[in-house]
Structure 1
Amino acid sequence: MAQPQHVVPKYAHTPGLTRVAYSADGRYLISVGANRLIRKFLVDSPDDEPINTEYHEKDITGIATSKTHFATCSEDGTASLFAVETSEVENMLMRQSMPFRDVTFSNDGQWIALAGDDTTVKLVNTKDITRTLSLTGHRQGVKHVSFHPNGALVTTASFDGTLRVFSISSEEPELVKTFDGLAASIKDELDEASIKVAWHPDGRVFATQNKTRDVITINRSTWEPERSFANGHMGAINDYAWSPNGAYLATAGSDAKILIWDTKSQNIVNKFNYRNIICVVWHPTKNEISFTSNMGQLYTIPGVVPEKLDMPFGKSIYPAPLINDPDAGGAVSSVKPGARGPIAMVPDEFDDDISNVDDLEEVQREWIEDDDGAGYIPDLVPDTDSFSDSPRKRPYGLASDDLASNKRRFVTVMKGMQHEAFQPGSTPFINQRRYLAMTSIGYIWTVDQYEYNTVTVNFFDREKHREYHFTDHFRYDKACLTDDAALFAANDEDRAGSRLFFRSHGGLTDSWDLSFPNETIASIALSKTSVVVCSSKGYVRVFNLHGSPLRLYRQSSNPVVCCASHDDFLMVVRNQGDGSGKLMYTLENVKHDETLQKNDVVDIPYGATLRSLFFSEEGDPCIFDSEGVLLILMHWRQPLQAKWVPLLDTQAMGRDNPDESFWPLGVFENKFNCIILKGGEKNPSIPLPISSEIEIKLPVYSALSTKSSEHDSAQQKDATDSMKLEERYLQESVLLQLYKDGVLASCGGDESLMDDDQRDELSRRELAIDKLVLQLLQVLCRRGGYDGKAYGLVKMIHKDNALRAASKIALRYEMTSLAEKINREIEKRLEEEE
């Protein structure tokens, strides 16, 4: 993979953000940068002096071109339209108080999209700048904006990592799809990493950078991941661009590499070494790229695709990389840039072969076979003929020597769908500061001092514990906190090993440390009785609080995502490993070496991510997902009986601020302890905001359904009151069952061994539930409810005294038949007791 001789750059601008774009005909190369200059270079005469234009008052942040014009945007909050040939300004498109960050044309040149620190993206018509559209709903500023090739869709990428797809085919833009958690967040405007949406020229997929720093493609039809251009860069990717014919993808990384990828195979066909690259573009008709650096340099490299692979530029468009694609063998028909509606992309030579759609789908299902051990997953692509002796069919256009590489790409795609490992309660670095751990007890945070870190341990109850700090030369990146001690872990990439450090709050007397050569630590957990370490080799090590090993076993090969512990109980969450993006968990008692739940599924929606894993104050496993739902695990001590129950849906609480999000700290009986994040923030800031307690509310009904109004009729208010009481009943029943499970577990399952305090607490909770049922019964009787539902409520009562009270309520509202049924129920229970 030989690369051309190193190119001498043009020093087009002063150091800082530098962007570049070709004119649509490829005659000009236009760059903008931090010195507020617009410079237009003649491509065929690179030695000629460029034409300079001074217009903006602050740094220029974006450049885009159409057939006849180019547009720029700036930190001064202005965006303007210029004629390509004369470089003269024709219109100031828009002015705002906040900086613009990106500008782009629709393919037909009729619209310009502008994105910036304002949370609203503006669309301006180039013929009539009074015609504008607004794309709203962003929680933070928008760094990137792009048009679909047919001009009907606009995609945006916010600083918080959220991607949004808007339809502008009607007068009012419509939000079509939101991708939350697919891409990494952008720290600030100085962060050079890109999460832009780059549409393939045929419009069937777009490329973006995911959290694992790989470029992946998303299917336009299903909005699901398709292919992955993985394992090329060692750091963040600063820019990526499709070649005009769609056959290649160029990526520029912070690791000082520019890679040229083959679209069909996702293999690297060429690479170049240049530092600080932040923008890369393809020539519209030539095998050539240009790129800029943050030092203001401009480079142009011809012949980036080796001659033996070079496909004609500017003619046919080669198909986007789809997993099941009949067009994978050749170029598709040319796409007209301004065309609206569906795009036909079937090669002429296949017309006779695909007349039967069902046959085509069968062929696409059958061709994959794990004959080279590359990791074919049956659940992802079903093998409908696994017992047939007939030779395998292949998809159209796929040569036999491509089978192995295609199957390996399935493994790459599945790796891209896996959840990243994380330490519950930790945050990324912001301004050289980050939280290592955060619980209901306190929090641990660290400051990067360049040569070392400083770690501080804070407690919410300052009378019980005093805060302390220490100098950290190992740069710990994981931590856990309990009432008694703190646990730290660090991975040393240079030495290919990791370190574990246990420190008692009382001082260094009871502290200890361990090293694990040739292993990295994926997640750690700490409880009152044990220390847990999950490593990259799948090992789970359990130590006591003095550093002596208690257990050692190996999980399945699926990577660990996180773990948590409480007393003697340990929960480990792993990727399911079949490419589905699902998570599984194992829950065990490490003291008795007893597995309680094994390889059960963590119930979070597809596309969502796990944000936190912890145990409640009463010792029940809890999770919090990216959808803002808090769930608790019921019946987890009984094999095959565990189920996830949603305790709170923070998005359905009916709060007025849609930009709020929640950072979990813990669960105490019927309270959710959390940090409320404002303004679309994803992580708590330093210093830590004041924590809040939110009452648990099972999402039985929507917040709108249970919201009463002074204008409601008496019947409507009764119905609303009933729904509120039913929600409270179900909530208290769940909490009662959790408490009862815990008490019975402590008594070995024998109720007769419960002590007086436990019996009193159980009785108190049952009585509280009975009161709710009686209130429900009274509302139903007042409304003249039917006996069937009323008697169903009676069956939910625990105490005999409450049953007698229910009989009185029925008689009060002259429901004699119901009263008779209640009396028979009382007699039946008395007989059972005797």
Structure 2
Amino acid sequence: MPDAQIRFAHSDGPTFVTYTPDGKYLFTAGQNRSLRKFTHGSPDEPDIIDQEPDHGFNTGISANNETLFISSEDGLVESYSVRTASNYKLLTRFSLAARDVAVTPDGHWVAACGDDINVKVINTHDTTKHMILRHHSKPIKHLTFDPSGSLLACSSVDGIIYIYSLTTETPDLLHKVTGAIPEIDVDSEISTRAVWHPDGRAFVVGQNNMDIAVISRQDWGVKKLFAGGHSSDITALAWSKNGGFLASGDSKGNVIIWESKNQNIISKNHYEGGITSISWHPADNVITYGTNQGTVYIQPEPLSSDHEKTLKLHLQPAPGFLPVGADFVRLERRNERKEARPNRQEKTSVDDILAQLEGDEDDWLEDDDGAGYGERNENGKRAAGGLSLGVPSIKRHAYGSWSPDIHEPMQPGSTPWRGDRKYLFLSLIGFAWTVDQKTHNTVTVEFYDQEQYRNFHFTDPLLYDKAVLNENGSLFCSPPGRGNPALLFYREHETWGIRHEWKTRLPDGEEVVSIALSNAYIVACTSNGYIRIYSLYGVPVKVYRQKHAPVVSCTSWRDYVMILGNGPVTADGRAQLTYTIENIRRGEVIQSNDVVAIPDKATLKNLFFSDDGNPMVYTSDGVLLVLQHWRSPGQAQWVPILDTAHLDRRIGGKKEESYWPVAVAQDKFSCIILKGGEKYPYFPRPLLSEFEFRVPVSNPPDEDQAKNDPIAKLEESYVRESVLVSLAEDLVENTRAEEHEKMDVVRRNVSIDKILLQMLALECKDEEKQSKCLEIVGLMRQTRTLEMAIKVAVKYDRHALAEKIEEMRNQMEED
């Protein structure tokens, strides 16, 4: 092994080192109120970033490719530009010393801790957005994010590791790991940092007996031990980029490199001064160490040529775990995934355009006019064509050729890729998301009801790209990979009993377009136009081909499935969006290839059944539609039950926002509010908001108008309640309705009559509106209400009206 390069970077005291993820730069921080920026592989002296003269000693360092983050003893948490080594920014300040700082892999959030007890998690783009972690009673010394950025391990000075989930606006404390790390002082150089393995399934910590424990994420217990290597306190730990090796340093300057697979020591070296920080280069066979004497050791070739081969392999499994998808870790697959990710910053030259035109006359198109044909779909592929779903291209073809404008496939409840992660499913039950780890994905599922359901997380070598959750289980599907067909995976929710799961592979060349899960059936719509239906235990129930193709999406409830497809092309070249509803158990088609009523310029954002089983769609113009009378063939109508553009909070341009649809339950629209120009929810998961239904009968009045003209509000209430009562009546007539569902019909009818009585009382004040009053009375549903209407007419001296109402009451009694 060559001699290490020694850099006297800082004055005596703990020195902290880190490479940027791309490996271009090495940053160091120490006790002399300045930072050093080394260019990897360059013999030049480092750039110096001077800090304020009264700046406290630095205590922590973290970096991504754009920004460097520093914590210090004077309580400051700061950031600097990696490229220019400037653009200083104060992220937050503690009243006491700050002890550590960590940034999420995507760079959106920074966590900082200190002697103030609480941990702060700050948004790097908007520091006014932050989260506070308060479940611990002693100061936190070390912080580390897992590879997905969704979990934060906080090592407290009292010997407890607190594991937080940051997927919600209010962070959840998932677990407290006790007995794994020693108790230390806040200024101790002993490391109790939980260092996550790159595959995210475990982390390592130094223990009291100088061994290194592997803590499994499955049960937070000790999985393996790196034992017998150190005879003094462990002060630093770091995994190689692929997790194949672990480097550990101690207070006497000893550095050991371990092989992860069998926990064997492969090298042991000594450096002057206690080791306080270790950083592996992301690509090269180089490690850098910081010491408590202010020196930095850059060690080339710490691994022999034999072991260097392992360093260049794909992601290695955490100790004690099986390999993570070795069959999927190929250069071709990585390139394929890389191409599938949008890169808005790439530029295209004239030569590039000409070269592309020679190969494919359509691929040169860019979405420079916002028409959408240059965007990528949720699979990361160009939405305007080139899909491996058997979907005809809708791009603007060169040389005047034409093809119809079709509706692209979509999976209800999912978002497109943003950076390295996407939501697979969002609902009122819970949510699932996946993180791209380059060689594999990691999938996490969390539930709102933590008492009834258990969260779970797994390493995903199959690259699942769609999911559905309900009260019974979770359904996932993966696209076909090289040599691997598409796969469906169903898993019952884990309680405290036996958990059932099954998998099935689709025929070669067939890809899943959309999946649905009810409490009775599993539905998969495929690129071949097939609708494949399974029981919850994996029994194939039915396979047929949808009449209108390509298929767009599907959703299900109980025995019903609704499937959307591309129908006939209209005069403007746009394919109609059609739907079919079938009762699977009875084999009965209820609605066949009817049209989904959405405007020409709008697109489908989500579709789902409400909690009481009514089909709903939400469109890009912000309108929620319910399918009324859908159980009666040929009678179904799409009724707007809410127009979010007319919400009170948006009248007069009060708020610039849009809404991500999630579900409809208890006559309320549940959604995620997206501020500004955001199109999709991101992490941490925002809180759900609820809006009452409001049918767009007329322009919604403001508060002053409502006081002067209350009739408009009553008219809207009447139309809305009429729609809801018809849905409730259909449910009672066509299903084995429960008692509360029958009572709901009675309650809604009473509510409608009450609204009509209020309208009658207001209109009776105007003598010229006697005809309208009579129409209002004609809408009443109960004789008792007609009797009360007669009293209202008499009260306002409308005796002729009272006589006509009396005639109507008598006729109703006779009928």
Q: TM-score, normalized by length of structure 2?
A: 0.51
Structure 1 residue 659, shift from structure 2 partner: 2.2
Structure 2 letter corresponding to 1:671: K
Distance 2:782 2:363 in 1: 76
Change (3 A) 1:776 1:553: same
Partners of 2:728 and 2:741 within 8 A in 1: no
Aligned to 2:467: 479
Corresponding residue number in structure 2 for 1:258: 355
Q: How does 1:362-761 map to 2 (within 5 A)?
A: 409-411=401-403, 414=404, 417-495=405-483, 497-506=485-494, 509-516=499-506, 517-556=508-547, 558-576=549-567, 578=569, 579-656=573-650, 657-703=654-700, 706-709=701-704, 717-718=707-708, 720-746=709-735, 757-761=740-744
Quote the offset at 1:496 in angstroms: 6.2
Q: Residue in 2 aligned with 1:813?
A: 796
Deviation at 1:758, TM superposition (A): 4.7
- Aligned residue for 1:497, secondary structure, equals coil
Cα distance in 2, alignment partners of residues 457 and 241 from structure 1: 37
Which residue of 2 is the match for residue 85 of structure 1?
Answer: none
Q: Could you tell me whether the CA contact under 8 Å between 1:628 and 1:662 is conserved in 2?
A: yes
RMSD: 3.7
**Which residue in 2 is equivalent to 1:37?**
none
Asked if the contact 1:660–1:676 (Cα under 8 Å) also holds between the matched residues in 2, the reply is yes
Q: CA deviation at 1:430?
A: 2.5
| Alignment match, 2:106 | none
> 3-state SS of the aligned residue for 2:357?
strand
Within 5 Å, give how 1:348-367 maps onto structure 2. Answer: none
- 1:570 Cα shift? 0.4
**1:197-254: CA deviation from partner (whole Å, max 9, x where unpaired):** xxxxxxxxxxxxxxxxxxxxxxxxxxxxxxxxxxxx98868799999xxxxx8755xx
Change (3 A) 1:467 1:235: closer
Partner of 2:758: 775
- 8 Å CA contact 1:659, 1:679 repeated in 2: yes
Q: For residue 137 of structure 2, what is the aligned residue in structure 1?
A: none
Shift of 1:261: 6.8
Instruction: Write the deviation string for residues 600-659 of structure 1: whole angstroms up to 9, x where unpaired.
Output: 111111121100010000001100111111001011111111110001111121424442
Secondary structure at 1:789 match in 2: helix
Shift of 1:785: 4.5
State whether residues 421 and 561 of structure 1, in contact with CA within 8 Å, keep that contact through their aligned partners in structure 2: yes
CA distance in 1, matches of 2:523, 2:663: 20
Asked if structure 2 preserves the Cα contact closer than 8 Å seen for 1:558 and 1:577, the reply is no
One-letter code aligned to 1:640: G
The question of whether the paired residues in 2 share the 8 Å contact of 1:239 and 1:278 is answered with no
Shift of 1:536: 0.6
Residue in 1 that maps onto 2:782? 799
| Residues 126-525 of structure 1: pairs in structure 2 closer than 5 A | 252=353, 258-260=355-357, 267=361, 409-411=401-403, 414=404, 417-495=405-483, 497-506=485-494, 509-516=499-506, 517-525=508-516
Distance (Å, rounded) in 1 between the aligned partners of 2:801 and 2:768 = 11
Task: Return closer, same or farther for 1:679/1:530 CA change in 2, 3 Å cut-off.
Answer: same
- For residue 448 of structure 1, what is the amino acid of its counterpart? D
Listed one character per residue, the Cα deviations across residues 273-331 of structure 1 (whole Å, up to 9, x for unaligned) are: xxxx999xxxxxxxxxxxxxxxxxxxxxxxxxxxxxxxxxxxxxxxxxxxxxxxxxxxx
Q: For residues 480 and 756 of structure 1, do their structure 2 counterparts lie closer, same or farther at Cα, with a shift above 3 Å needed?
A: closer
For residue 825 of structure 1, what is the aligned residue in structure 2? 808
Cα distance, 1:694–1:555 mapped onto 2, change above 3 Å:
same
Residue 627 to residue 535, structure 1, CA distance change in 2 (3 Å)? same
Cα distance between partner residues in 2 of 1:639 and 1:423: 26
Contact 2:362–2:398 under 8 Å retained in 1: no
* Alignment-derived partner of residue 165 in structure 2: none
* Counterpart Cα distance in 1 of 2:447 and 2:466: 18
Are 2:445 and 2:457, in contact at CA under 8 Å, matched by a contact in 1?
A: yes
Residues 485-527 of structure 1, C-alpha deviation per residue, up to 9 Å, x if partnerless?
Answer: 0000010242362011001112774100011122111110000
Percent identity among equivalent residues?
38
CA deviation after TM superposition for structure 1 residue 434, in Å: 1.3
**1:726: how far off?**
0.5
Instruction: Supply the distance in 1 between the matched residues of 2:730 and 2:422 (Cα, whole angstroms).
Output: 38
What letter is aligned with 1:410? Answer: W
Deviations 1:126-167 (A, max 9, x none): xxxxxxxxxxxxxxxxxxxxxxxxxxxxxxxxxxxxxxxxxx
For the Cα contact (< 8 Å) 1:530–1:545, is it kept in 2?
yes
In 2 relative to 1, CA 493–796 (structure 1 residues): closer, same or farther, beyond 3 Å?
same
Distance apart, 1:267 and its partner CA: 4.4
**1:702 offset after TM fit, Å?**
1.4
**Paired AA for residue 693 in structure 1:** E
Relative to 1, partners in 2 of residues 1:269 and 1:626: Cα closer, same or farther, differing over 3 Å? closer
Q: 1:615 to 1:733 in 2, by over 3 A?
A: same
In structure 1, how many angstroms separate the alpha carbons of the residues matched to 2:340 and 2:428? 36
What TM-score do you get using the length of structure 1 for normalisation?
Answer: 0.50
* Partner Cα distance (1:758, 1:767) in 2: 15
Alpha-carbon offset, residue 669 of structure 1:
3.5
Distance 1:765 1:732 in 2: 7
Where 2:543 maps in the other structure, the secondary structure is: strand
Give the count of matched residue pairs.
453
Could you list the per-position Cα deviations for residues 784-825 of structure 1 after superposition, in whole angstroms to 9, with x for gaps in the alignment? 352110000001111111110000000000000110001001
Could you tell me whether the CA contact under 8 Å between 1:425 and 1:439 is conserved in 2?
yes
SS at match of 2:804: helix
User: Secondary structure at 2:719's aligned position in 1?
Assistant: helix
CA contact (8 A) 2:424 2:432 kept: yes
Q: Name the CA distance, whole Å, in 2 between partners of 1:549 and 1:525.
A: 15
What amino acid maps onto 1:817 in structure 2?
A
Structure 1 gaps, min length 5: 1-14, 17-58, 60-73, 77-116, 119-232, 244-248, 272-276, 280-374, 378-403, 748-753
Would the aligned equivalents of 1:496 and 1:518 in 2 still touch at CA under 8 Å?
A: no
Q: Which amino acid aligns with 1:541?
A: R
Work out whether residues 261 and 268 of structure 1, in 8 Å CA contact, stay in contact via their aligned partners in 2.
Answer: no
Deviation at 1:270, TM superposition (A): 12
1:559 to partner: Cα distance: 1.1
Aligned equivalents of 1:624, 1:269: Cα separation in 2:
31
Matched residues in 2 for 1:405 and 1:278: separation?
A: 15
Q: Deviations over 1:41-73 (max 9, x none)?
A: xxxxxxxxxxxxxxxxxx9xxxxxxxxxxxxxx
The one-letter amino acid of 1:439's match is S
Describe the SS at the equivalent of 1:645. strand
